[in-house]
Copies of this chain bind each other. A is one copy, B any other.
Amino acid sequence: MRETGPEGARGCAPGGIHETMTPIGIAVIGAGYWGPNLVRNAQATAQFEVRYLCDLDVARARRVLGKYSTVEVSDSLAQVLGDPSVQAVAIATPAGTHYEVASLALDAGKHVLVEKPLAASYADGSKLVSLAAERGRVLMLDHTYCYTPAVQRLRELVRSGQLGTLQYVDSVRINLGLVQPDIDVLWDLAPHDLSILDAILPDGVLPVAVAAQGSDPIGAGQACVAYLSVQLSNGAMAHAHVNWLSPTKIRTTIVGGSARTVVWDDLNPSQRLAIYDRGVDRTDPTQLGDAERTRALVSYRVGDMVAPALPEGEALRGVMSEFAAAITEARAPLTDGKAGLRVLALLEAATESLYSGGSFVPVYLEEIAR
C-alpha cells in the first residue's frame, strides 16, 4: 500500500455519492448508550439526511444533539413514522422493545436498521424478517464488528481459503462491564462473537449445536460469566468466553486454519491482525491409530507472522454506508435479518444448554442460511 499521506490519512473516506441524488431521510430512535453514535455516523454519511432523534426523554435527546444542532427532537414515534420525509429508521432502544418498534416502522414502510439482538426471541425475530420481506423493505442488523477492517479481512482470509480448513475459533470478550438488569452476559456480549462467526464462516459450514456454562457469583440474578461452545458442521468448534466481572479488558479472537491462523486483538491498534504461517499437520491420515507412528506423522510448521496494514476508521460508518447502499440498490445488506435470526437461534440454544447441565443443544440453521 503506497499512499501520499501518513497514517492519519488512512481513514475511511465518506461514501461518495452523486451530488444529484436526494439523500435518504433517516430518524434515530433511542438516545441512550448507542443512539448518539448512530446520530453522529448517520450525519457523517452523505447518503443520509438525519431528520429526527426520537426518545421518550426529550431532554436527553437534546443533550445528545447539543445546542449547535439543526436536527429535530421528538418524543413521538408516531410523529416520526408518520413523516413521509423519513424513509429509514435506526433503532437503538432496549432489546425488549426491538420487535415492537421495528414492526411499527416496517408497517409504516420504513427501512430498518436495528441494534443487536434483532429481537428478544427467535419467534419475534422471525416475524420481523417475514414482515420486511412482505413490505419489500431493508431489515439490517447493526452487527458493528462485521464492518471493521479486521473482520472484513478475516472474512476474506477464511472464505477465500487462504487459512486452509477452518480448525477452531476462540474468542474472549471480557471487561468490567455494565451488569444488565434484564439480560445475562450471554445475550449482552455473545451476539458480537456469534455475528462475527456468522460473517466469516465459509459457505456450507454452519453451526450445528451449542453448549453453554455460566455462573452468577455476585448474585445478580443472571449469569455474569459464561462460556459458549459451538459445534460446526465441518467438525471444528468455536468457543467464546464472555464476562462482565473482569478487571482487565480483553477482546481477542483466534481463527485457526490448516494453512494459517489469525489472531485478532481488537485492543492493539498497531497490530490488530497477526497472520501466522504456523500449524500442525498430519502427513498421512490413513495411518491413524498406530500410536507409535502418530508422532512421526505429525509435522509442525513454524513460519513467519504477517501483520497486515489495515485502514483505520469507525466501523459504524461502514454500517451506515451498507444500510444506505442496500436501500438504494434494493438488495439485502451483509448483515441482514436472517443473519440476526441465526444469532438468535444460537442464543436461544445457548440459554437452553445453560439451564440444563451444559450439554450440546442442536440448532437447525439450514433454512435461514445465507
A296: nearest residue on chain B (CB-CB)?
B4
Contacts of A282 in B (CB 8 A): 218-220
B181 and A291 within 8 A (CB): yes
A294 and B70 within 8 A (CB): no
Question: When each residue 55-96 of chain A gets 1 if its CB lies under 8 Å from chain B and 0 otherwise, what string results?
Answer: 000000000001111110000000000000000000000000
Any chain B CB within 8 A of the CB of A116? no
Any chain B CB within 8 A of the CB of A318? no
Please report the C-alpha to C-alpha distance between residue A136 and residue B230 in the assembled complex, in whole angstroms: 49
- Out of B5, B213, B227, B249, which one reaches A270, CB within 8 Å? B249
Interface residues on A, range: 35 or more
B227 and A248 within 8 A (CB): no
B176 and A302 within 8 A (CB): yes
A221: nearest residue on chain B (CB-CB)?
B288
Please report the C-alpha to C-alpha distance between residue A239 and residue B243 in the assembled complex, in whole angstroms: 12
Which 7 interchain pairs have the tightest Cβ spacing? A359-B359, A247-B276, A167-B217, A247-B278, A357-B359, A215-B237, A181-B294
A-side interface residues toward B, CB under 8 Å? Answer: 1-10, 43-44, 50, 66-71, 165-168, 170, 172, 174-182, 211, 213-221, 224-225, 227, 229, 231, 235-237, 239, 241, 243-249, 254, 256, 258, 261, 263, 267, 270-271, 274, 276-282, 285, 288-289, 291-292, 294-296, 298-309, 356-360
